[in-house]
Amino acid sequence: MRKAMTWQSVLWQVMQREVKRLLDRPLYFFCMVAAPLFCYVFFTTLMADGLPANLPAGWVDMDQSGNSRKLERTLNAMPQTDIVARYPNISEARKAIQEGEIYGFFYIPKGFAKSAQTMQQPLVSFYTNQSYLVAGSLLFRDMKMMGELSGAGASRSVLLARGAGDEQAMALLRPIIIDARLLNNPWTNYAVYLNNTIIPGILMLLIFMVTVFSIGTEIKEGTNHEWLRMSGKSVPLALLGKFLPHTLVFTAMALLYNAYLYGFLHYPLNSGIFPMLLASFLLVISSQSMGILMFGILPTLRLGLSFASLWGVLSFSICGFSFPVMAMPPMIQALSWLFPLRHYFLIYVDQALNGYDMSYSWVNYAALLIFMALPLLVLRRLKSVLIYHSYRP
């Protein structure tokens, strides 16, 4: 009689089969290795300076005085602003904004210097294109600061002319001095904040799609019966043997981006590397589990991939790094718990940025562990699909 194979040998056999499938298809290498590496380099180099610099802006000076030219030089010296053109009137400057040549412009009215010296409250204006949120907001900040400085400078000149000392003038202009201390990201570096979520989020999206694709192609190519038979008709063993090689590759990619962000680029890491490594590993496992659930709910390759891409893209909006979840409607706040990236983001904020103890984030670690149980909800349906379903485009 033929000796029955142990579950360990069955698992090893399924894993060997999956490794062969991975090596035979260049698409897997692209999605699991090449695409993540490209995204790591692309996004970190795209935001290498932390904030966009030298954003093109315009200048409309109807006064042509020494004071207005001094304001122009001061604004142009700010790191986010680069005055690339001077326009004769507002209409020309507005047309340049509409054509995308500049992101905003500063307007000095005629008689500005004279009005400032006689304390007649001259009006300066600035216009920014908020269709480009980051560029418009940064220019708005610089131009608003320039407007405040111009008013303070004019008032200081008048006070000094009336006999006030320099300290007296500054005390009147700034009776309260604000000592601002930016915690955890004092450089206000966008790269630190965005890359720590975008890069894991892209890896999660790729895991979703590769997981769904891996099961869907078994049915598409008619190898689903062979796969199930090799696993002893055990769906848990079939899934475990298929996705363990994927887990190893994606975990390696997760370890790589942690080493790259925190070791090479020296992003803030106030809790040590272990909490983030654990969070990254759990993100990989929970993303694979979500992928299996997605295919179990919509067991066709086309619909499964659509589901995976939709859920992955929504994760970037609902995880809270671009818009706070607490400001979203209550239904969306509850829905955010169903996205692994949301829990990873909260762990990153608590651990890497704030440096809290790991126990502070236990709820999010536990949530990522719970995601691992999701395939149990569709095991019976998956077995039925693998036995009876045929491919339908």
Q: Is the dihedral of CA 289, 293, 294, 300 positive or negative?
A: positive
pLDDT digits (tens, 9 = 90+) for 289-308: 999 999 999 988 899 999 99
Residues, the chain, total?
393
Complete edge-to-edge strand list for the sheet that includes strand 125-128? 81-86, 55-61, 104-108, 125-128
Lowest mean pLDDT, pick from 26-40, 161-175, 293-307: 161-175
What pLDDT sits at residue 391?
Answer: 60
CA distance linking residue 266 with residue 241, whole number of Å: 37
Q: Which two tokens stand for residue 15?
A: 């894993």
Whether residue 168 has pLDDT greater than 90: no
User: How many CA atoms lie within 13 Å of 390's alpha carbon, on the beta-carbon side?
Assistant: 0
Query: Which pLDDT band, with edges at 50, 70 and 90, does 2 fall under?
Result: very low
Q: What is the pLDDT of residue 159?
A: 56
| 6, 370, 348, 36: CA torsion to nearest 10 | 50
Handedness of CA 355, 360, 362, 367 (dihedral sign): negative
CA angle 257, 289, 4 (to 5 degrees): 115
What CA dihedral angle connects 382, 388, 391 and 392, to 10 degrees?
Answer: -100
Give one word for 266, left, alpha or beta, with left for phi > 0 and alpha for psi -120 to 50.
left
- The whole-number average pLDDT for the span 165-188 is 63
Has residue 178 got a pLDDT over 70? no
- The pLDDT of residue 125 is 84
At 128, which helix (H) or strand (E)? strand 125-128
- The CA distance from 98 to 84, in Å, is 16
- Which of 170, 262, 159, 211 shows the shortest CA–CA distance to 31? 211
| C-alpha dihedral sign at 244, 245, 251, 255 | positive
Q: Report the mean per-residue pLDDT for the chain.
A: 86
- pLDDT tens, residue by residue, 331-356: 999 999 999 999 999 999 999 988 89
What pTM did the predictor assign?
0.81
User: What is the phi/psi pair of residue 186, to 5°?
Assistant: -65, -15
**Which among 91, 303, 319 has a CA at the least distance from the CA of 202?**
319
Q: Determine the Cα angle at 180 with ends 178 and 184, to 5°.
A: 175
- Other CB atoms closer than 10 Å to residue 5's CB: what's the count? 12
**Tens-digit pLDDT profile for residues 352-380:** 988 899 999 999 999 999 999 999 999 99
Percent of the chain residues topping a pLDDT of 70: 86
